[in-house]
Structure 1
Amino acid sequence: MATVDRQRTAGLELNALLQRAFVKTADAADLPRFEAEVAGLAALRETGTVRVPAVGRHGHADGQAFLELEYLELRSLDRTAGATLGRQLAALHRHAGERFGWPTDNFIGLGAQPNGWMDSWPRFFAERRLRPQLALARSKGADRLTLQDGEELCEKVAAFFVDGHPVPSLLHGDFWGGNAGMLPDGTPVVFDPACYHGDREADIAMAELFGGFPESFYAAYREAWPLDSGYEARKTLYNLYHILNHFNIFGAGYLGQAKRMIARLLAELRG
Structure 2
Amino acid sequence: MSATPPSAANHPALPAVEQAIRTRTGNAFRIAAAHPVGGGSIHTALRVEDRSGAACFVKLADAGSAAMFAAEVDGLAAIAASGSFRTPAVIACGTAGAHAFLVLEHLELRPLQSAADGVRFADALVRLHRDRGERFGWHRDNFIGRTPQPNTPHANWAHFFVEHRLRPQFALARAQGFDAELHRQGERLFDRVPALFLDYRPQESLLHGDLWHGNAALLADGTPVVFDPAVHRGDRESDLAMSELFGGFPSSFYAEYRLSWPLHEDYEQRKLLYSLYHMLNHLNLFGRAYQREALRLATRLNQELAQRRD
TM-score (norm 1): 0.94
What does residue range 76-115 of structure 1 map to in structure 2 within 5 Å?
76-78=111-113, 79-115=115-151
What residue is the counterpart of 2:192 in the other structure? Answer: 156
Secondary structure (helix, strand or coil) at the match of 1:101 reads coil
1:11 Cα deviation from its structure 2 partner: 6.5
1:259 Cα deviation from its structure 2 partner: 0.6
Distance 2:19 2:286 in 1: 33
User: Is 1:200 matched up with 2:230?
Assistant: no
Percent identity, please: 53
1:143 Cα deviation from its structure 2 partner: 2.4
The Cα offsets for residues 89-145 of structure 1, whole Å up to 9 and x where unpaired, read as 011101111000011110001111111111100000000000000000011112222
User: Is 1:218 matched up with 2:248?
Assistant: no
CA contact under 8 A between 1:11 and 1:62: conserved in structure 2? no
CA contact under 8 A between 1:82 and 1:214: conserved in structure 2? yes
1:12 Cα deviation from its structure 2 partner: 5.2
CA contact under 8 A between 1:58 and 1:68: conserved in structure 2? yes
Distance 1:114 1:72 in 2: 30
CA contact under 8 A between 2:179 and 2:291: conserved in structure 1? no
Larger radius of gyration: 2
What residue is the counterpart of 1:41 in the other structure? Answer: 76
* AA in 1 matched with 2:208: H
CA contact under 8 A between 1:13 and 1:61: conserved in structure 2? no
User: Is 1:257 matched up with 2:287?
Assistant: no
The Cα offsets for residues 192-217 of structure 1, whole Å up to 9 and x where unpaired, read as 10000000000000000011111111
What residue is the counterpart of 2:23 in the other structure? Answer: none
Distance 2:209 2:17 in 1: 33
User: Is 1:18 matched up with 2:44?
Assistant: no
CA contact under 8 A between 2:83 and 2:127: conserved in structure 1? no
Of residues 12-21 and 248-257 in structure 1, the stretch that sits farther from structure 2 once superposed is 12-21
CA contact under 8 A between 1:10 and 1:62: conserved in structure 2? no
* AA in 1 matched with 2:86: R
What residue is the counterpart of 2:164 in the other structure? Answer: 128
Distance 2:131 2:187 in 1: 32
Unmatched 5+ stretches in structure 1: 1-7
User: Is 1:64 matched up with 2:99?
Assistant: yes
Secondary structure (helix, strand or coil) at the match of 2:137 reads strand
Distance 2:102 2:118 in 1: 28
1:146 Cα deviation from its structure 2 partner: 1.5
Structure 1 residues 233, 59: closer, same or farther in 2, change over 3 A? Answer: same
CA contact under 8 A between 1:54 and 1:70: conserved in structure 2? yes
Distance 1:119 1:102 in 2: 12
User: Is 1:180 matched up with 2:216?
Assistant: yes
What residue is the counterpart of 1:209 in the other structure? Answer: 245
CA contact under 8 A between 2:204 and 2:235: conserved in structure 1? yes
User: What's the C-alpha RMSD, in Å, of the aligned pairs?
Assistant: 1.6
Structure 1 residues 145, 57: closer, same or farther in 2, change over 3 A? Answer: same
Unmatched 5+ stretches in structure 2: 1-13, 21-29, 32-46, 50-54
Secondary structure (helix, strand or coil) at the match of 1:53 reads coil
The Cα offsets for residues 163-187 of structure 1, whole Å up to 9 and x where unpaired, read as 1000110000000000011111111
* AA in 1 matched with 2:212: W
